Structure 1
Amino acid sequence: MRLVALIAVIVFVVDQFTKWWVVHVMDLARVGAIDVLPPYLNFRMAWNTGINFGLFSGTADWTRWVLISVALGIVLFVLVWMRRDPPGRTGLVFAGLLIGGALGNVVDRLLYGAVADFLNMSCCGIDNPYAFNVADISVFIGAIGLALFSGSKNAS
């Protein structure tokens, strides 16, 4: 469980630092867009009140609290799962990624009322209209990793 906690803390700190830097230091909340390595990497400020790709977004305050509750419920579920049936070192890393990312987005909802998304990547003639953040990447990789490797106790 120490490995889960370590990975979760690292992801959480990196996520919150990058959001703080981009929103407050680079002032992306005001500027709106900064081209970094167009079209491959751009910063595009997006306040996501929903889940991935803006699904279930709404302006009602109760939706924020429902999404916070769901995220905390998932974190609790994964923690209990890891404690009762640890899937091996690889599975613990993926659990830490998911938990750290989920908690990073929960903090955003508490501080800002929405998740601060800013990374935008396009390639090969495809113009991606969506933005995401470090927490989103971690949740995605963690969930996929747990789905693929949770049955492998010998994965080290």
Structure 2
Amino acid sequence: MATARTAAPRASAGGGSKRLMGWLGIAGLIILIDQLSKIMVDRTFAYGERVAVLPFFDFTLLYNRGAAFSFLAGGAGWQRWFFTVIGLGASALIIWLLLRHGHQRMFSWAITLILGGALGNVIDRLIHGHVVDFLLFYYDKWYFPAFNIADSAITVGAVLMIVDEIRRVRKGS
């Protein structure tokens, strides 16, 4: 006699893959916007050139051989491949998570933004050996490290993930 097992709800094969394709399309759009913006800035600006946009914001062309906040930027070149492997590994995990949890909208938005940003920066590392940064915020003599669209997507995704987790925990209590 067979017993009924309870399992996590599973979308139909077509529904889950269709949903995944939607999330991957959004990640692809983030990658496209990121890469086009980097190409435009890289072709328009000389390295280190700054153009004031607002009293606290400039466009500038800088290269980052490291990770966030130029972490390990002074390495001998091994960090290019280290961060590429991390970015690809994280992307594979995110795709798996989207396949399993694509119905959770805020969580999926969060990790889709992170996926698009991570792959945007991986593309830079593979093509150039560094990440192209061009958004520079500052106040007086204080400067936030320059960043790009991919970094912005990763940051917004991380914030959404925190908000999603806080909401999930509050629902549980």
TM-score past 0.5 threshold? yes
2-side partners of 1:108 and 1:29: how far apart?
18
1-side partners of 2:48 and 2:86: how far apart?
32
Q: 1:31 and 1:62, CA in 2 relative to 1: closer, same or farther beyond 3 A?
A: closer
Match of 1:140 among 155, 158, 165: 155
- Find out whether 1:75 has 2:91 as its counterpart: yes
Greater relative contact order (CA < 8 Å, ≥ 6 in sequence): 1
Secondary structure of 2:46's counterpart equals helix
Partners of 2:48 and 2:62 within 8 A in 1? no
Bigger radius of gyration among the two: 2
Match of 2:46 among 29, 47, 57: 29
Matches within 5 A, 1:1-156: 1-24=20-43, 27-30=44-47, 32-37=49-54, 39-86=55-102, 88-123=104-139, 125=140, 127-149=142-164, 151=168
Moved more, 106-115 or 55-64: 55-64
Q: 1:22 and 1:68, CA in 2 relative to 1: closer, same or farther beyond 3 A?
A: same
Question: With structure 1 as the length reference, what TM-score do the two structures score?
Answer: 0.84
Q: Which runs of 4+ in 1 moved over 4 A?
A: none
Question: With structure 2 as the length reference, what TM-score do the two structures score?
Answer: 0.77
Query: Percent same amino acid at aligned positions?
Result: 31
Secondary structure of 2:72's counterpart equals coil
Amino acid at match of 1:42: D
Secondary structure of 1:146's counterpart equals helix
Structure 2: tracts of 5 or more residues without a match: 1-19
2-side partners of 1:56 and 1:15: how far apart?
23
Structure 1: tracts of 5 or more residues without a match: none
Moved more, 137-146 or 81-90: 81-90
- Give CA-to-partner distance per residue, 1:22-68, whole Å, 9 cap, x none: 111xx32346211122x222012221111111111134222100110
How many residues align structurally? 149
Amino acid at match of 1:89: R
Partners of 1:6 and 1:96 within 8 A in 2? no
1-side partners of 2:65 and 2:48: how far apart?
20
